[in-house]
Structure 1
Amino acid sequence: GAAARRYEPTAQPNCRTRRGELHLKKSVGLLREKSKVTVTDCYSLMEKETHYAKAKWAKKLGVSTSGYYTWLQERDRRQKAQKSLEDRVISIFKEGEGTYGVDRICGILRRDGEPASYPVIKRIMCQEGLKSCHRRRRQRSLTDSRKARGDEYKNLTKDLVIDKPFQVLSSDISYIRTGEGFDYLCQIRDVFTNTVLASCQAENMKKELVLQTLKAAQDRWHLPADVIFHSDRGSQYTAEDVIKQVSDYGWKQSFSFIGMPGDNAWSESFFSVLKKEIVHWRFYPTRESARQAIFEYIEVFYNRRRVQKRLGYLSPINFLNTWQQQYQQCVA
């Protein structure tokens, strides 16, 4: 009798109730051990624990059930928005072919009317392993200006306000390393829109390379007279044939001051970008492979797709077209 009563099990429903109550009190007690309990902490506990109905948890924690469900909906909305932003950042990075950093991606998002926080975009890029091309030091110009010291080589761009396309053109020559040796790239770029008007490559950097590039720019764009054609004082640009061809187009020729390579920073900055984005991390086995890659970079990507901060996060061609449309509307 007494022994049997001592080992008689308690009714099952009462056992479940006591264990549940103990679990509820323990969970609330652990929550209160925190120095500062927030409403979000309570909602997180309610989501995690499933022993009781949400209404009972809410009453015990001193929060509202409706607030809990609103919190769930808002969290889901934020997670969807975050996923959408992550997908957008990845898409923009791919469109930029790995050349866009945090600043430019933020600029593109803001241009399109989307909110963009630098720390948030930086975190997403780190999280997704998105790294833009590394910056390199400025490229030294290959042309030699030491022999051109006459007063006739004037800088016509000093203190000049450049406010329209095809007002000032900038040109320079740089080298591309290939498996067959150096290849030389000459480019002419519009300073106002940053559009590369022409680019030519050759196995040497003689005046003929400049003449070829000048002709390509004029044949393609039919540039107006009074254009200022600016370069350094390299022998290729001070050659009589080059001076004559520039004059025949009705252009004015301008030269950097001696010892002032920054006067032609427009071209130097372009070569710096080009080499960072398509040269330094690639190997070109032949000159032809380098020429094909650079042609595609300039004509397909740089001029038409690569957005630039100075251009309002538009590509050079888009910026040029927008400017011309606005100009036509003003004069109409």
Structure 2
Amino acid sequence: MSYLCKKLGVSRSSFYEWVNRDTTPTESRHEILTGQVITAFAQSNGVAGYRKVTAALAREGFPVDRKTVAGIMNALGLISPAAQRAFRVANRRSRRTLDPVDLLLRDFSSLTPGAIMVGDITYVRTHEGWLYVATVIDLASRSVLGHASGATMPTRLIVRAMQMAIETGHVKPGAIFHSDHGVQYRSKQFRRYCGRNGIRQSMGAKMECWDNAAAETFFSKLKGERLNWLTFTTRKAAAAEVTSYITHFNTARLHHTLDYATPAEKLAELTLTAA
């Protein structure tokens, strides 16, 4: 009982006085359950949440609603360290600006070049450590309009990739840029950058890779057709290979979703049609 008394902040004498006092049948049942909850929590070394405590009681032949267990644990302050951290993270998230909504809803069929772009970040293994690569891809032509690489992946990495895309002259005013919920894409710095350049942000649902499938498909081709077959001693060598593949992808690789035209050919065709 020493651990429990210390956890609850009461003396042992007070605890036994509370156990032995007169109670009603309802109070008695609640106190028995409270004792069982305390014991199950203590047996987990103070790390179990209310779901695991409920499951532990059920295994011991004491089925009880998990909301009841949650209420008892909350009243006693029996909160695991992991739950405390999760609460602090959730509390921080509740105070931040809401993420952009999904403007695509998995519709990757744009026919206007520079109107909708997608992007993501991937990593390449080298003997020096990871090389991070960010891309900006035009959805209509599947051309990689912008890319950037570096030893770290701060927000300026995706800003550099977007700046390269803008400098091609193909990004239209009011263009949509769709990404996942990476911290770089949610940052105030990137939001301000997009706002200054007339770009509307869009994000799919969290933990749903299919919502950004067009961007991730390019990385699967980059790695499957080129990088997975090579070993890089330096980040510089890996970055050069990434740039080489992007040039090949844009100008020489036939794309089945473009009726086997290259992205560069499709971009030129759509740009001419739009003009």
| TM-score bucket (shorter structure) | 0.5 to 0.7
Q: Does 1:184 align with 2:184?
A: no
Please give the per-residue CA displacement for 1:258-288, whole angstroms capped at 9, x wherever unaligned: 2212100111100000000111110111111
In the alignment, the residues of structure 2 paired with residue 244 and residue 320 of structure 1 have an alpha-carbon distance, to the nearest angstrom, of 28
Corresponding residue to 2:157 among 209, 218, 226: 209
One-letter amino acid matched to 2:259: G
Q: Is the 8 A contact 1:148 1:234 kept in 2?
A: no
Aligned match of 1:100: none
Please give the per-residue CA displacement for 1:47-78, whole angstroms capped at 9, x wherever unaligned: xxxxxxxxxxxxxxxxxxxxxxxxxxxxxxxx
Q: Is the 8 A contact 1:227 1:250 kept in 2?
A: yes
Structure 1's 302 and 222: CA in aligned 2 closer, same or farther, altered over 3 A? closer
Greater Rg over alpha carbons, structure: 1
In the alignment, the residues of structure 2 paired with residue 158 and residue 168 of structure 1 have an alpha-carbon distance, to the nearest angstrom, of 13
The TM-score, its normalising length taken from structure 1, stands at 0.52
The TM-score, its normalising length taken from structure 2, stands at 0.62
Q: Does 1:239 align with 2:204?
A: no
Corresponding residue to 1:323 among 265, 270, 273: 270
In the alignment, the residues of structure 1 paired with residue 177 and residue 124 of structure 2 have an alpha-carbon distance, to the nearest angstrom, of 24
Q: Is the 8 A contact 1:153 1:233 kept in 2?
A: no
Structure 1's 228 and 282: CA in aligned 2 closer, same or farther, altered over 3 A? same
Tell me, what secondary structure is at the counterpart of 2:134?
strand
Q: Does 1:302 align with 2:237?
A: no
Q: Is the 8 A contact 2:112 2:274 kept in 1?
A: no
In the alignment, the residues of structure 2 paired with residue 176 and residue 246 of structure 1 have an alpha-carbon distance, to the nearest angstrom, of 27
In the alignment, the residues of structure 2 paired with residue 255 and residue 214 of structure 1 have an alpha-carbon distance, to the nearest angstrom, of 16
- Residue 174 of structure 1 deviates from its aligned partner by 0.3
- Residue 148 of structure 1 deviates from its aligned partner by 6.5
In the alignment, the residues of structure 1 paired with residue 93 and residue 122 of structure 2 have an alpha-carbon distance, to the nearest angstrom, of 19
In the alignment, the residues of structure 2 paired with residue 274 and residue 303 of structure 1 have an alpha-carbon distance, to the nearest angstrom, of 12
Please give the per-residue CA displacement for 1:180-234, whole angstroms capped at 9, x wherever unaligned: 1110000100011100001110001111111111112112335221100110111
One-letter amino acid matched to 1:245: Y
Q: Does 1:158 align with 2:105?
A: yes
- Residue 320 of structure 1 deviates from its aligned partner by 1.3
**How many residues end up aligned between the 2 structures?**
182
Aligned match of 1:312: 259
In the alignment, the residues of structure 2 paired with residue 266 and residue 232 of structure 1 have an alpha-carbon distance, to the nearest angstrom, of 11
Q: Is the 8 A contact 1:188 1:199 kept in 2?
A: yes
Q: Is the 8 A contact 2:99 2:203 kept in 1?
A: no
One-letter amino acid matched to 1:220: T
- Residue 253 of structure 1 deviates from its aligned partner by 0.5
Q: Is the 8 A contact 1:170 1:190 kept in 2?
A: yes
In the alignment, the residues of structure 1 paired with residue 133 and residue 272 of structure 2 have an alpha-carbon distance, to the nearest angstrom, of 32
Structure 1's 151 and 274: CA in aligned 2 closer, same or farther, altered over 3 A? same
Q: Is the 8 A contact 2:126 2:231 kept in 1?
A: yes
In the alignment, the residues of structure 2 paired with residue 295 and residue 159 of structure 1 have an alpha-carbon distance, to the nearest angstrom, of 28
Tell me, what secondary structure is at the counterpart of 1:176?
strand
- Residue 165 of structure 1 deviates from its aligned partner by 1.1
In the alignment, the residues of structure 2 paired with residue 238 and residue 295 of structure 1 have an alpha-carbon distance, to the nearest angstrom, of 26
In the alignment, the residues of structure 2 paired with residue 148 and residue 263 of structure 1 have an alpha-carbon distance, to the nearest angstrom, of 22
Aligned match of 1:286: 234
Aligned match of 2:118: 170
Aligned match of 2:143: 195
Kindly, what percent of the aligned residue pairs are identical?
27
Q: Does 1:254 align with 2:202?
A: yes
One-letter amino acid matched to 2:207: G
One-letter amino acid matched to 1:253: Q
Q: Is the 8 A contact 1:153 1:255 kept in 2?
A: yes
- Residue 151 of structure 1 deviates from its aligned partner by 4.4
**For structure 2, which runs of at least 5 residues remain unmatched after alignment?**
1-89
1:1-332 → structure 2 map (5 Å cutoff): 151-158=98-105, 162-221=110-169, 223-299=171-247, 301-328=248-275
In the alignment, the residues of structure 2 paired with residue 188 and residue 207 of structure 1 have an alpha-carbon distance, to the nearest angstrom, of 14
